[in-house]
Amino acid sequence: VPAQAAQLSGGADLGYTASSGNSRTSNLDTKLRLKYKTGLWTHKLKLGAISSSKSGQTTAERYTGSGKSEYDFSPHNYVFGQVQYIKDLFAGIRQNISETVGYGRRLLDSKSQHLDAEIGAGFSQTQEQKPSLARHSDVIGQLGLNYEYRISKTSQFKQNLTMQSGR
């Protein structure tokens, strides 16, 4: 793989909706994505938060974060290490942290389209929701697909699918 200059890219999303009438509702959705590529390394950071309320009562509150480093050992093959964090105050699982390492393969790599497939293994730590707040640790397997389609110079479609399985 030829040496390349360092590249920094990213994006941010901010969405807010509010309505009033028989009840008042509001929804806030924020996301931040950063990608730093230097030589054979690519580092990615994703952060997100979602909050919803109805008539002054919070009905959803979720925070997510992930960090991933990839090392290209050939033009179509790479290894990765990843840490993911999810905290959801209204789901059955209060929070989950997972650490995985694995192998990725670039199945499609053209000017307009990219498709990566990944397989990995790692550990997961989970905390149940109230009232128990019980904690569990587990060995996990991970499969992933990452697809990007560049529609034009200013727009693109991205879809990431990650499945983790354990006990």
Q: What is the pLDDT of residues 27-86, one digit of tens each?
A: 999 999 999 999 999 999 999 999 999 988 999 999 999 999 999 999 999 999 999 999
pTM for this model (two decimals): 0.87
Neighbouring C-beta atoms of residue 120, cutoff 10 Å: 22
For 130, residues 6+ apart whose C-beta sits below 8 A from its C-beta are 94
Closest alpha carbon to 48 in 33, 34, 35, 60: 33
Neighbouring C-beta atoms of residue 142, cutoff 10 Å: 22
Q: What is the pLDDT of residues 129-158, one digit of tens each?
A: 888 889 999 999 999 999 999 999 889 899
Class of residue 12 by CB neighbours under 10 A (exposed 0-12, middle 13-18, buried 19+):
exposed
